[in-house]
Chain A
């Protein structure tokens, strides 16, 4: 079975390498490209490359890969597992080297062609949007898979994989979602530049489709490659961190909080009320507005928790209902100024002038500045933030002897002190491009990081958090040990709601929606649902949530360019998220010992027994 799977996979990789483009030296804005492939270039729109640019190494490289894959199949048939593992490690290493050589040759050829053209007086480089493509990537993935496979041949290989299931299941689910998403794109759209081209052969047709899906995902991940793109991604990721934490917090306590959209909405409403109307001086106003956001969400979540604790009402249904009620409340407050109640006219002061449903502007003191203004106010790099972060971390990790409470307190003090003192240090001028200055990443991101830290400390370092997790894992055992389940339900929903409500700091106080410091009825509360994907993908761990929120942030940022360049709706991100949730729900289609902790433990025990039974063989390794 495993053997057949490996042969099939090897065959598929070989086929992909033969058919897919390996690299694209030139691509137009609309995506039409010049596709390099070892079996002959494909150039449907007749783009021309600069004189003298050729890629003669493509054929030999392909030959090397074929040899490597054949060798891998042969190695896989050898009987001795130790020898098999060793040879597979070697082949995997060779594969990575082959990939590196190919990448190096390609970028060098393209780079020198561009330099030559520029030296000859061209106004801009003739080769644009050049990149490696699926043929090369397939090789890299195959090489990495060989390394993993080599580890699997050794004793305890399966247990090794099962132990890493917190990473394996999300990654496999991501991969499956990407594959399904690619198939959908390939079915719906014609290959890039092939529209209206007559007489396309089968190989050209397949290659252009593979090029389309590769380029689609390259665009989706392209924000990673530029600083403005990265800022944009983090701006998208900020609310996802909050809502992801909210959902994850519920999961940890054994509750499914689908109510993050509603909690976010009410949080935003509270933040707006505080930010616009509270008559407080600046240094108190912003903290109160932030707390108001948390409070609004906490109330909205807490109601559900209380209903469950007091009446046993199912939190899933109730949070959904609360989402719709929150949407109604928001519309009621901001869609109109005047309402008629039984013939009486009631005026509400909240909606600002104009057609759009939006609030008045926040007071100056309630605004969270843009990240770029925190890092480099007025074009001068400020040491305040880096010093603050450094001082906080140093204090926290330097004072290991003290108890946790004091460490946290001192670290917080050091952070604040660092911020103040760092601000006094002389900065240096930096040039900020307009693309960077227009990114909506704001200080709310720092609040998100603080929320991540809170999540980590509360759940994993305090007695209350321990009880909460116990409640989620084994409610009866927790109750037997003296935990009040009802209290924990309310606490869990309060905190979960507060985390979701804090997402409003990004949209309302930080102007993360469209750069205006107002609450609008169009606030994208559905990021509350996206939080479910973030929590599942991140396996409810703080680092996982941060990484998966960032991943989705990158995809969302990339989705905007995807829409602009290829005319593929950025709703594809939504579909990818849904697919990831679905695939994680079914355990990535992996065997059950990857999802069931009891069976996972069994696999590990068996592996240990097997290792102890063969000490001699291990020694020879």
Chain B
């Protein structure tokens, strides 16, 4: 029983960054822009959040101040949004190959934080540990970060926005058939910019969760593929918020299981860690239900 509860809470914690990122990716891909840069956006957000909190702590004399982690969260979200904007400008304005520009961002996310860390902390792989983390919320037998609650509450919100509001309808139209949407008077370009920046903001929040919620410092490449798993969850969840919820819970569970199995005698953790990736490939091949992307995804829009 205790193991089951520990596994449940671990699943929630592992699923949160995936869920936040995948919901963000949902906006981007539903608008027709492939966002392979989610991984990089998480890392940029995580670095910005941890560094901001650390700098503020230094300025405030190392005390626990309630607003500091929130400013860190804001910094992470803004940084994610900024990186999203770069991807958006490349993909929408300059009609770049969206995979290529996304890859560029992912590569930058491995290098750029290190340069800043080197200047601030004279070390290229970690930031200083922070004391001001995002608050935890007690949930029965355990407690989780407040962002975990936020992520799960976001699912119905995203569902409602996407399927019950005019804005959501327009977004989906832009991703399915931009020309038709344009004739209906929808500003395709603006919709796409909004969607991609929004996905960056959510990925940045996921990064902040990793660096100042789940852990208390930034570590180089700490996302460890979370952005790609989120992308996989998006496909697995058939570009639908509820499907995404299910997929991220499954992948989160696989990760929690891998942690739980560490040193146990059931299965080697290194192999269980590969599970989400294998599952995704099976889904893509159509072994576990077909998944159809938005029709205009990945295609630059030309007026």
Hey, which bits of chain A sit against chain B, CB under 8 A?
184, 188-189, 256, 258, 307, 310-314, 316-318, 320-322, 324-325, 328-329, 331-332, 335-336, 339-343, 526, 529-530, 532-533, 536, 567-569, 571-575, 577-579, 581-582, 584-587, 589
Specify the chain B residue showing the minimal Cβ separation from A332: B270
A401 to B36, CA, bound (A): 50
CB contacts (< 8 Å) of B115 on chain A: these are: 184, 188, 568-569, 571-572, 575
Asked whether B264 lies within 8 Å of A582 as measured between CB atoms, the reply is no
B271 within 8 A of A: yes
A–B Cβ pairs within 8 angstroms, 13 of them: A188-B115, A313-B286, A317-B235, A320-B228, A320-B231, A325-B277, A328-B273, A328-B274, A341-B266, A567-B118, A575-B108, A582-B101, A584-B100
19 extra A-B contacts, CB within 8 A, seeds A529-B106, A571-B114: A307-B281, A313-B286, A314-B284, A317-B284, A320-B231, A321-B280, A322-B277, A324-B273, A328-B270, A328-B273, A331-B270, A335-B270, A342-B267, A343-B265, A533-B107, A574-B110, A578-B105, A581-B103, A582-B105
Known A-B contacts A532-B100, A586-B94; the reply to A317 vs B285 at CB < 8 A is no
| Residue in A189, A529, A567 whose beta carbon sits within 8 Å of that of B103 in the complex | A529
Q: Which residues of A contact B228 (CB under 8 A)?
A: 320-321, 324
Q: Please state if A313 and B119 are interface contacts (CB–CB under 8 Å).
A: no
Which residue of chain B lies nearest to A303 when distances are taken between CB atoms in the complex?
B281
Chain B residues near A567 (CB-CB < 8 A) = 118, 122
Q: Mark B78-115, 1 if CB is under 8 A from A, else 0.
A: 00000000100110001011011101111110111011
Which one of A321, A322, A342, A579 lies within 8 Å of B265 (CB-CB)? A342
B281 touching A529, Cβ below 8 Å: no
Contact B111 A313 (CB under 8 A): no
CB distance from A337 to the nearest CB of B (A): 12
CA distance A569 to B117 in the complex (A): 9
In the assembled complex, the Cα of A439 lies from the Cα of B119 at a distance in Å of 30
B154 to chain A: closest CB distance in Å?
Answer: 24
Q: Within the assembled complex, what's the spacing in Å between the Cα atoms of A526 and B114? A: 16
Give 1 or 0 for each of B121-145: 1 = CB within 8 Å of chain A CB.
0101000000000000000000000
Inter-chain contacts of B273 with A (CB < 8 A): 324, 328
Instruction: Kindly state whether residue B225 has any CB partner on chain A within 8 Å.
Output: yes
Tell me which of B107, B264, B274, B286 contacts A325 (CB under 8 A). B274
- B242-284: which have CB < 8 Å to A? 264-268, 270-271, 273-274, 277-278, 280-281, 284
Q: Are B286 and A579 touching (Cβ within 8 A)? A: no
Q: Least Cβ distance of A454 to chain B in Å?
A: 25
Q: Which residues of A contact B41 (CB under 8 A)?
A: none
- Counting from the closest, the 3 A-B pairs by CB-CB distance are A574-B111, A578-B108, A340-B265
Q: Which residues of B contact A343 (CB under 8 A)?
A: 265-266
Q: How far is the CA of A311 from the CA of B284 in the complex (A)?
A: 8
Task: Give complex CA distance A320, B103 in Å.
Answer: 11
Q: Which residues of A contact B117 (CB under 8 A)?
A: 569
A256–B271 alpha-carbon span in the complex (Å): 27
A584 to B64, CA, bound (A): 46
**Is A579 a contact of B274 with CB atoms below 8 Å?**
no
Using known A-B contacts A343-B265, A532-B103, determine if residue A571 contacts B111 with beta carbons closer than 8 Å: yes
Shortest Cβ distance from A130 into chain B, in angstroms?
28
Given known A331-B270, A574-B107, contact A317–B94 (CB-CB < 8 A)? no
Instruction: Give the docked Cα–Cα distance between A581 and B108 (Å).
Output: 10
Q: How far is the CA of A575 from the CA of B107 in the complex (A)?
A: 7
Q: In the bound complex, how far is the Cα of B99 from the Cα of A320, in angstroms?
A: 12
Q: Is B295 an interface residue (CB 8 A)?
A: no
Partner of A340, one of B103, B235, B266: B266
- Residues of B near A532 (CB, < 8 A) are 100, 103, 107
Residues of B within 8 A of A (CB): 36, 86, 89-90, 94, 96-97, 99-101, 103-108, 110-112, 114-119, 122, 124, 225, 228, 231-232, 235, 264-268, 270-271, 273-274, 277-278, 280-281, 284-286
Partner of B285, one of A307, A335, A573: A307
Rounded to whole Å, the gap between the CB of A167 and the closest CB of chain B is 19
Q: Pick the residue among B86, B99, B124 that contacts A316 (CB under 8 A).
A: B99
Nearest-neighbour CB distance to chain A for B262, whole angstroms, equals 11
User: Contact check: which of B100, B111, B235, B280 meets A585 at CB < 8 Å?
Assistant: B100
Q: Decide: A575 near B286, CB < 8 A? Known: A328-B274, A582-B101, A589-B94.
A: no
A582 contacts across to B, CB distance below 8 A = 86, 90, 96, 101, 104-105, 108
Q: Are A341 and B116 in contact (CB under 8 A)?
A: no
- Judge whether B94 and A587 touch: CB under 8 Å: yes
Of B108, B225, B235, B266, which one neighbours A574 at CB under 8 angstroms? B108
Minimum Cβ distance to chain A for residue B222 (Å): 15
| Chain A residues whose CB sits within 8 angstroms of the CB of B111 once the complex forms | 569, 571-575, 577-578
Contacts of A336 in B (CB 8 A): 268
Given contacts A188-B116, A568-B118, contact A313 B284 (CB under 8 A): yes
CB atoms of B112 and A575 under 8 A apart: yes
Q: How far is the CA of A325 from the CA of B112 in the complex (A)?
A: 26
Tell me which of A314, A321, A325, A584 has the highest count of chain B C-beta atoms within 10 A of its own C-beta.
A321
Identify the closest chain A residue to B279 (Cβ): A321
**Residue of A307, A313, A320, A586 touching B101 (CB-CB under 8 A):** A586
CA distance A530 to B111 in the complex (A): 12
Most chain A CB within 10 A, of B267, B277, B278, is at B277
In the complex, A324→B268 CA distance in Å?
A: 16
Q: Complex Cα distance A76/B137, Å?
A: 69
Instruction: Find out whether the CB atom of A317 lies under 8 angstroms from the CB atom of B99.
Output: no
Which listed residue (A258, A318, A526, A572) contacts B284, Cβ 8 A?
A318
**With the chains together, A549 CA to B145 CA distance in Å?**
45
Asked if B280 and A581 make an inter-chain contact with CB atoms under 8 angstroms apart, the answer reads no
CA distance A574 to B220 in the complex (A): 13
Measured in the bound complex, the distance between the Cα atoms of B119 and A569 in whole Å is: 9
When the two chains form the complex, which single residue of A256, A329, A340 contacts B264, counting CB atoms closer than 8 Å? A340
In whole Å, how far is A321's beta carbon from the nearest beta carbon of chain B?
4
**A568-B117 Cα distance, complex, nearest whole Å:** 10
Chain A residues with CB below 8 A from B94, complex form: 585-587, 589
Of A313, A571, A587, the most chain B CB neighbours within 10 A belong to A571
Which residues on A sit within 8 Å (CB–CB) of B112? 571, 574-575, 578
A307 touches B104 (CB 8 A): no
Report the minimal beta-carbon distance from A150 to chain B, rounded to whole angstroms: 29
A380 to B262 alpha-carbon distance, docked (Å): 55
In whole angstroms, how far apart are the Cα atoms of A316 and B103 in the complex? 11
Collect the chain A residues with CB atoms within 8 Å of residue B232's CB. 317, 321
Residues of A within 8 A of B281 (CB): 307, 313, 318, 321-322
Q: Given the interface contacts A317-B235, A328-B271, A331-B270, does A307 sit within 8 Å of B107 by beta carbon?
A: no
Measured CA separation A331–B268 after assembly (Å): 10
Task: Give the residues in chain B near A311, CB-CB below 8 Å.
Answer: 284-286
A586 to chain B, nearest CB (A): 4
Whole-angstrom CA separation of A536 from B104 in the bound complex: 11
CB distance A571 to B100 under 8 Å?
no
Residues of chain B contacted by A584 (CB below 8 angstroms): 100
Partner of A307, one of B86, B270, B284: B284
Residue ID in chain B nearest A592 by CB atoms: B95
Q: Give the complex CA separation of A607 and B278 in angstroms.
A: 54
Out of A332, A585, A589, which one reaches B97, CB within 8 Å?
A: A585
Q: Given contacts A258-B103, A569-B114, is CB(A189)–CB(B265) below 8 Å?
A: no
Q: State whether A317 touches B107 (Cβ < 8 A).
A: no
Which of B100, B114, B271, B280 touches A317 (beta carbons < 8 Å)?
B280
